[in-house]
Amino acid sequence: MSGRTALLVGATGLVGGHCLERLLAEPVYTGITVLTRRDSGHREKRLDERVVDFAALTAADVPAVDDVYCALGTTMAKAGSKEAFREVDHDHVLTVAELARAAGASRFALVSSIGADPDARAFYLRVKGETERDLGRLGYTCLEVFRPSGLLGERTDRRLAEKLSIPLLRVVSGALVGPLRPYRAVGAGTVARAMVAALLEGEKGIRVRTYDDIEALAAVGR
């Protein structure tokens, strides 16, 4: 395994930031392209960072790569409306995936959410499920879907109430056993390590990863 190239979207987010650090630490990747809405601040010879407008993305913005890592997403609070949320979490993700696939990418890793289902009553989970479903139709040789529950990690924009809830989230997560284990909170860095490990392994097919899979893959990627 040598000379792999990667595309990352969502590098300024919680999981995406960890994913970028992991990719830069992985010598198998000789070239890493980041599509971002704002400068990530990273400077590295192998890194090609492109500030783009995801609403107007074209084939010229997306180079030929082997692997695509997608941590692109927003929240209902930030988006401000259902339409704006769907535009980011579904439309922009699909645009990146379609352009990358057309350019030759064969492996794709997506950060989704526990409970994602295209038939879900909850709008958030329904959009996540529709995104997963539509990605599965694009013909990627390897599609890895990661469904974390609560994410542990320091967000730069986290509100005080959210910061205070993290210790409680850790305690509650430890009590989730049996069929509730997939709902345990997991570290953002753990998800990122698992994503990279999964695509480096590159097994053919579509796989959905929840808590136990994420932890196991992350251990491989240490």
Cβ partners under 8 Å of residue 75, min gap 6: 85
Backbone dihedral angles phi then psi of residue 28, each to the nearest 5 degrees: -65, -25
- Residues facing 31 on adjacent strands: 5
Domain spanning 4-220 has what CATH number? 3.40.50.720
Q: How many residues does the chain have?
A: 222
86: number of Cβ within 10 Å: 19
What is the per-residue pLDDT for 182?
87
What is the per-residue pLDDT for 38?
84
> Which tens digits make up the pLDDT trace of 140-194?
999 999 999 989 986 555 544 444 455 656 556 666 777 888 889 999 999 999 9
The whole-number average pLDDT for the span 83-112 is 98
pTM assigned to the model: 0.91
The set of catalytic residues is 124, 128
Band (pLDDT 50/70/90 cuts) for residue 120 is: very high
The whole-number average pLDDT for the span 30-55 is 91
Q: By the 8 A CB rule, do 50 and 8 touch? A: no
Band (pLDDT 50/70/90 cuts) for residue 196 is: very high
Pairing of strands 29-36, 4-9: parallel
pLDDT of residue 208 exceeding 70: yes
What is the per-residue pLDDT for 169?
61
